[in-house]
Amino acid sequence: MKAMNPARRAWRQRHPGLTAAALAPAAAGARPDIRDIRGPIEIPTVWPTVLMIAGAAALAVLLGVLIYWLVRRMRKARIKTPAEIALQRLERARALAREGQAMKLADELSDAVREYIQARFELRAPHRTTEEFLHELLSARQSPVAAHREALGEFLGACDLAKFARFTIDVEHMNAMLDAAESFVRTTAAPAPAPPRDRDSGPLVTQEVPA
């Protein structure tokens, strides 16, 4: 029997549980005790989706606010009719009557009515004298203003007296001038009604003449 190496004998004494079978390499096909290192696992993140949803929501809110602002601005910027402009000027002019400023009031009333007539009926009233304007109404008999020629003559004549002749006008007469101007604007603001049609007149029928 071969004698054991002293060093080997000493190692086996320190490690009595280890045998040659335990130290032998693993058999072919046996499952290894330590698995191989796998690649990194990609963990899905939700942040890009959250940011996209938040951005779309913010854009929708901003677009809604912009549309609301544009609609309100368009409503405020609606073009006013000549009658609306004239009535606003007449309403502001009432402060001049309360303050007793007859000359300024007459100037404002005359300008408001003349500019209204030009914008509403396309008659060149602002840059003409009262006589020239009234004379033009004689040749514009088809205009709705022609029916108010006499009342306009009295109104514009009173304004001329206060502006150029410096006639004294009390508050009562100034309010009467304001009421007359407002009544004229409201009366002529609506389009003139079409002339009534004769009930007996039927559609025009043409008779064919045989050749």
In this prediction, residues 13-29 reach a mean pLDDT of: 57
Query: CA-CA distance, 195 to 124, in Å (whole number)?
Result: 26
Chain-centroid distance, C-alpha 73: 3
- More confident: 33 or 121: 121
* Pairwise pLDDT comparison (31 vs 82), residue with the higher score: 82
Contact, 178 vs 93, CB < 8 A? yes
Structure-token pair, residue 43 = 């963990």
Closest CA to 82 of 145, 131, 130: 145
Q: Using one digit for the tens of pLDDT, what is the confidence trace for 154-166?
A: 999 999 998 888 8
Q: How many CA atoms lie within 13 A of 3 on its CB side?
A: 3
Measured CA to CA, the distance from residue 31 to residue 117 in angstroms comes to 108
Highest mean pLDDT among 1-5, 37-41, 174-178: 174-178
- Which amino acid does the sequence have at 33? D
Nearest residue to 179 (alpha-carbon basis) of 93, 104, 99: 93
DSSP 8-class letter at 40: P
Q: What is the mean pLDDT of residues 124-141?
A: 81
- The string of pLDDT tens digits covering residues 188-210 is 987 655 545 544 444 433 344 44
Please give the pLDDT value at position 33: 55
Under 8 Å between Cβ of 131 and 119:
no
Q: What single-letter DSSP state applies at residue 201?
A: -
Q: Between residues 41 and 124, which one has the greater pLDDT? A: 124
Q: Is 79 left (phi over 0), alpha (psi -120 to 50) or beta?
A: beta
Q: Does residue 20 have a pLDDT over 60? A: no
Q: What percent of the chain has pLDDT over 70?
A: 68
At 141, the pLDDT band (50, 70, 90 cuts) reads confident
Looking at the chain, the whole-number percentage of residues with pLDDT higher than 90 is 30
46-78 pLDDT, tens digit each: 677 777 888 888 888 888 888 887 777 776 666
- Asked if 125 contacts 152 with a C-beta cutoff of 8 angstroms, the reply is no
Q: Which amino acid is at 103?
A: M
